[in-house]
């Protein structure tokens, strides 16, 4: 999905330019760097942006993101390096694996008694970056990695997880990029027919 050509860069605030088409937190997070193919528009501009993104992604309710922006961007780029490698049929690069592994949460579990006397096993909250790293780690497993995609549009670099039954999805959004791409191909064919 294209950003306006006259967009004033660098952005002061990233939230208006986030989109949620990745199909999972790790890819929505990677998509916070827009237009990777052209201007590389950063939408995690400040620590407040990071906190707001984590809340909107429903990974935290009131996150303390002080000092996390650099680590967050590093994690984002490690996940993207894994996406690029996966799409090229290559293994997850070691530096990317190390960054994702570093952010994986140590989950402490507790046995909690419910009001009716039964007990349930509950995980304590993990750091929000850890939740993103855990999602990425799962995504790069052989069972899930074949569904990682990059939008087929010439002017989009959105990463997404293909949850379609036949694993044949091509665009981050069929209504946006899909329709634009189809219209471009139609106009191209019409021009060629007129020659």
pLDDT in tens, 128-162: 899 999 999 999 999 999 999 999 888 888 999 99
pTM of the model: 0.84
Mention every residue, 6+ apart, whose C-beta is less than 8 A from residue 48: 65
Q: What is the mean pLDDT of the chain?
A: 90
Cα separation, 168 vs 185, whole angstroms: 19
Cα atoms in the Cβ-side hemisphere of radius 13 Å centred on 96: 18
Report which of residues 16 and 179 the model is more confident about: 16
94-103 vs 69-87: helix axis angle to the nearest 10?
Answer: 140
Spell out the domains of the chain, with CATH numbers in brackets. 15-194 (1.10.3300.10)
Is the C-alpha dihedral spanning 21, 22, 28, 30 positive or negative?
negative
| Residue 122's pLDDT band (cuts 50, 70, 90) | confident
DSSP for 38-80, written as a single string: TT-EE---SHHHHHHHHHHTTS-SS---TT-HHHHHHHHHHHH
């Amino acid at each position: 999905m294209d950003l306006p050509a006259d967009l004033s860069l660098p952005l002061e605030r990233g939230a208006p330019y986030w989109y949620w088409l990745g199909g999972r937190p790790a890819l929505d997070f990677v998509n916070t760097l827009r237009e990777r193919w052209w201007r590389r528009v950063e939408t995690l501009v400040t620590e407040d942006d990071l906190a707001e993104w984590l809340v909107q992604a429903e990974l935290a309710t009131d996150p303390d993101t002080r000092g996390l922006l650099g680590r967050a961007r590093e994690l984002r780029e490690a996940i993207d390096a894994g996406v690029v490698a996966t799409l090229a049929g290559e293994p997850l690069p070691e530096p990317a694996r190390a960054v994702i592994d570093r952010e994986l949460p140590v989950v402490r579990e507790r046995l909690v008694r419910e009001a009716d006397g039964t007990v349930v096993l509950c995980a304590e909250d993990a750091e929000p970056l850890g939740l993103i790293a855990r999602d990425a780690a799962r995504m790069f497993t052989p069972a899930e990695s074949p569904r990682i995609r990059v939008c087929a549009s010439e002017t989009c670099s959105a990463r997404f997880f293909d949850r379609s039954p036949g694993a044949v999805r091509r665009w981050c959004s069929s209504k946006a990029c899909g329709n634009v791409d189809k219209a471009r191909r139609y106009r191209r064919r019409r021009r060629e027919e007129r020659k």
